[in-house]
Structure 1
Amino acid sequence: MTTFDQREKVFEDKYKHDQELQFKVEMRRNKLLGLWAAELLGLTGDEANAYAREVVASDMEEPGDADLVRKVMGDFAAKGIEMSEHRLRVKLEEILGVAKQQVMTE
């Protein structure tokens, strides 16, 4: 294997690792968002955990956060909880930092 091939493999491995890490952080963020939303919806214990899993699963439908935001906003609206999309997206950003920290310390 040439030096170029070795470098290419190192870059590919790093890219793969970074993508896996990003996926873990996003899934953790979604779970934390689900738990936060569950609390606002009045869910506790197993119900809150089940709701968080629903939120995580909802983000698998399309790229980006639109499906995730749509689900949580819809659930808030159904329960009469006032929440703007902007406030929800700000919360997503806040939770992202927590999720990164949690994943990096594991």
Structure 2
Amino acid sequence: MSTFDDRERGFERKFALDQEQEFTASVRRNRALGQWAAGLMGLQGGHVDEYAQAVVKSDFELPGDEDVLRKVFEDLKGSGVTITEGEVRMKMAELLAQAREGVRKGD
């Protein structure tokens, strides 16, 4: 086995770990986003967790974050919450940074 093969396997393991951590951070972000939006819509108790789970599931519809953004933004508007798409995007970015930090720390 050569040093090149070892390096290649190391890069592959690092890539797989990075992808797994990014997926975990994305799921955490979506759950937190759902909880945040549920609070804005006045949901309480088990309805908060149900809505957060629905937001997590919405991420599996299309690649990328647009499906999550669309769901949360439309649900907020439909509930009478005055908010812009940009504000939801900013909250998504904020929560993703927090989720990545939590994953990095092993929380």
TM-score of the pair, normalised by structure 2: 0.93
Unaligned 5+ runs, structure 2:
none
Root-mean-square deviation (CA, aligned residues, Å) is 1.0
Counterpart in the other structure of 1:81: 81
Q: Give me the whole-angstrom Cα distance separating, in 1, the residues matched to 2:37 and 2:11.
A: 38
Unaligned 5+ runs, structure 1:
none
Superposition map of 1:1-106 within 5 A: 1-105=1-105, 106=107
Q: Cα offset for 1:18? A: 0.4
Task: Figure out how many residues of one structure are paired with residues of the other and give that number.
Answer: 106
Identity of aligned residues (%): 45
Q: Cα offset for 1:102? A: 2.0
Letter in 1 for 2:40: L
Runs of 4+ aligned structure 1 residues displaced above 4 Å come to none
